[in-house]
Structure 1
Amino acid sequence: MDIQFILVIITFLAAVGFILYTFVFKSMLENKKRSLGTLDGGKTKCGNNDCGCH
């Protein structure tokens, strides 16, 4: 095998790995880290319903 062919294969695999990490794995990790959407991170003191106290 030629050294240039090996370098092309390594570069291609690095590019595919970067694309997979950027668009697949990174988005899956962001979904797990997101809060529930409340101002205090999901720790509301008045329960699940909106009682108007905040």
Structure 2
Amino acid sequence: MEDVIFAAVVGFGLGVGVSHCIRAVQEGSRQIKAWRMRRKLIRHIRELEDRAMRNFKV
């Protein structure tokens, strides 16, 4: 009987671990996408600022 309980606990733990890992990977990929978007936005804003400064000097 103890073996069955142990197997159930281990199986449940593995299931939770796998689902948690999948969720963490999905969240991580979402954050990576957001980070890339932020970098693109920052680069775009810097280019606009550079252009504005050049126009202002002229």
Residue of structure 2 aligned with 1:46, choices 40, 51, 57: 51
- Provide the residue aligned with 1:20 in structure 2: 23
Three-state SS of the structure 2 residue aligned to 1:2 is helix
| Aligned length in residues | 44
- Provide the residue aligned with 1:52 in structure 2: none
Quote the offset at 1:31 in angstroms.
Answer: 2.4
Between the aligned residues of both structures, percent identity stands at 7
**Structure 2 unaligned spans of 5+:** 53-58
**Structure 1 unaligned spans of 5+:** 48-54
Q: 1:26-47 deviations in whole A, cap 9, x for unaligned?
A: 1221122111178xx3311115
One-letter amino acid of the structure 1 residue matched with residue 14 of structure 2: T
Larger Cα-atom Rg: 2
**Larger RCO (CA within 8 A; separation ≥ 6):** 1
TM-score of the superposition, structure 1-length normalised? Answer: 0.62
Structure 1 ranges of 4+ moved more than 2 A: none
